[in-house]
Structure 1
Amino acid sequence: MASTFIGNSTSIQEMFRRVSEQFTAMFRRKAFLHWYTGEGMDEMEFTEAESNMNDLVAEYQQYQDATADEEYEEEEEEEEEEITG
């Protein structure tokens, strides 16, 4: 028996944020960088990857904020209905 679960959540951004922070700390120290540059990678590729990760986190944050705003508006509407109803 096999099963699959697919979820739609912005909570993954916390993991992306932690990975990004760890990457930034190591990249500043140039830890292990020589292994990658020795195989032909350029430091600019790491900078671009960091930028892409930050953009991804920002996009998830934008969706999370939009969802929170919608929930707040729904709560306000329910309170108004209780008062007027």
Structure 2
Amino acid sequence: MADEDAQTEGNSEGDVTPAVEVDIEFVDALPDGRAVMAVESEGRFVWLAVRGHVSPQAREEMLSDLRYIVRAGLWQQNWLPPQAEPH
């Protein structure tokens, strides 16, 4: 379940940047025996957790905290590639 509360942020010139979407998804296994792993893509940040290593209650509490951090503006993603310096 993605962050349904995600909103957009705009600057004074009218450009709109999507807010961060956060999620925690249960998976059967991860590489190298890991229990959790963060995966980032444009518009989305997902924590993958192996079933049995993170309880459903912990998942909901973590999602609530992450969504608060995003809504409060304490965390943002920069999905745009770095801009080249003008010569």
TM-score by length of 1: 0.28
Name whichever structure is richer in strand by fraction: 2
- Return the structure number with greater relative CO, CA threshold 8 A, min gap 6: 1
TM-score by length of 2: 0.27
